[in-house]
């Protein structure tokens, strides 16, 4: 657990220091974001989905991230208008509060708090839940929100199909019967391992807390949904479903309670959907989740 917090904190701080040093060009975050979406994340998907073993009894863990994202759209449309949020700001909240950091924070935290059995459940929630949502619904949401003209279904499907992580997901599923050569597996692992440090570095590079006061209403709305309301609804729903094992409920709620997804903020920035708010959601949400997630996990018991 301490290692997880240390890695996240160090990478965020390094990004902040890099911006203040003046030694990095202003386009640094954009270049990193493009690399992560087009190289590092596809490599991670190709490796993780290819190796995934699915147990039908874990369907609840896989469905929870879909429910969180599907609930984010109506929630922020209903309440965002009262705060005067623009379409871009509302989309940024959907992409960040609707997606959890279930891989780089959720998996280590699940292993630390629930052990290897809990980690196996958390992997299902991450791979069959969050990653699939990112590659499909989140990509479509970003494309629609950023379009200057009305998108047709054909053009929308084309954008989703050509989104590199989604294409990698399809390839990984098709190649599941085949074993990767050792060298290819090693290359994919190295490229995928870059995602966490570079993504958090890019977030830190863009993070400017002096704008928090002006964005506080939107930030509070987004983090309340992601860290409290959404995982609370998942907790209650699982308690009402008979036959769900305690470990499955624990790991599923823990993953639902994760901070906003870094890649969701990158996706918002890549489509020019209020990047400032998206970065604040991640930068403020990650530290807060270390307090709220264990509390929600305790409530499951």
110-121: average pLDDT:
81
114-122: average pLDDT:
81
Residue 72: the pLDDT is 96
Residue 55: the pLDDT is 67
The string of pLDDT tens digits covering residues 17-48 is 998 898 999 888 888 888 988 898 888 878 87
59-72: average pLDDT:
94
Kindly report the pTM of this predicted structure: 0.80
Is residue 149 scored above 60 in pLDDT?
no
105-128: average pLDDT:
82
The string of pLDDT tens digits covering residues 224-255 is 999 999 999 999 999 998 888 899 999 999 99
Give the list of residues 6+ apart from residue 276 with CB closer than 8 angstroms, or none: 206, 208, 211, 215
Percent of the chain with pLDDT over 90: 33
Range with the largest mean pLDDT of 95-109, 151-165, 197-211: 95-109
The string of pLDDT tens digits covering residues 250-300 is 999 999 999 999 889 988 988 899 999 998 998 889 889 989 999 999 999
All structural domains of the chain: 2-20+30-300 (1.20.1530.20)
The string of pLDDT tens digits covering residues 84-94 is 899 999 999 99
HSE-CB for 173 with a 13 A CA cutoff: 9
The string of pLDDT tens digits covering residues 163-213 is 787 888 889 888 988 999 999 999 998 998 888 788 778 878 877 776 677
Distance, CA of 246 to CA of 300 (rounded, Å) = 8
DSSP string, 102-145: TTTTHHHHHHHHHHHHHHHHHHHIIIIIIIHHIIIIIHHHHHHH
Residue 53: the pLDDT is 66
Residue 26: the pLDDT is 85
| Confidence bin at 1 (pLDDT 50/70/90) | low
Question: Percentage helix, strand, coil, to 5, in the chain?
Answer: 80, 0, 20
Is residue 74 scored above 60 in pLDDT?
yes
Residue 254: the pLDDT is 95
């Amino acid at each position: 657990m301490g290692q997880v917090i240390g890695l996240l904190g160090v990478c965020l701080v390094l990004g902040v220091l890099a911006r203040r040093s003046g030694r990095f060009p202003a386009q640094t975050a954009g270049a990193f974001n493009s690399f992560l979406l087009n190289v590092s994340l596809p490599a991670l998907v190709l490796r993780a989905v290819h190796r995934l073993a699915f147990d039908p009894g874990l369907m609840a863990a896989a469905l929870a991230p879909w429910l969180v994202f599907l609930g984010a759209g109506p929630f922020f449309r209903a309440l965002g208008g009262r705060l005067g949020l623009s379409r871009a700001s509302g989309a940024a909240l959907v992409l960040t509060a609707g997606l959890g950091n279930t891989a780089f924070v959720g998996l280590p935290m699940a292993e630390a708090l629930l052990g290897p059995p809990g980690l196996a459940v958390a992997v299902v929630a991450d791979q069959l839940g969050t990653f699939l949502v990112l590659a499909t619904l989140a990509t479509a949401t970003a494309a629609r929100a950023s379009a200057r003209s009305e998108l047709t279904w054909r053009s929308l499907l084309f954008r989703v199909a050509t989104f590199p992580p989604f294409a990698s997901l399809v390839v990984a599923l098709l190649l599941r019967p085949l074993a990767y050569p050792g060298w290819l597996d090693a290359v994919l692992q190295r490229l995928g391992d870059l995602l966490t440090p570079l993504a958090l570095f890019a977030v830190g590079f863009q993070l400017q807390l002096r704008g928090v006061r002006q964005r506080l209403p939107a930030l509070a709305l987004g983090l309340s949904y992601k860290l409290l309301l959404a995982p609370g609804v998942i907790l209650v729903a699982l308690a009402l479903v008979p036959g769900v094992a305690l470990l499955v409920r624990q790991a599923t709620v823990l993953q639902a309670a994760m901070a906003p997804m870094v890649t969701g903020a990158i996706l918002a920035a890549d489509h020019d959907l209020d990047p400032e708010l998206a970065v604040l959601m991640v930068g403020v949400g990650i530290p807060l989740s270390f307090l709220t997630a264990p509390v929600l996990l305790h409530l499951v018991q």
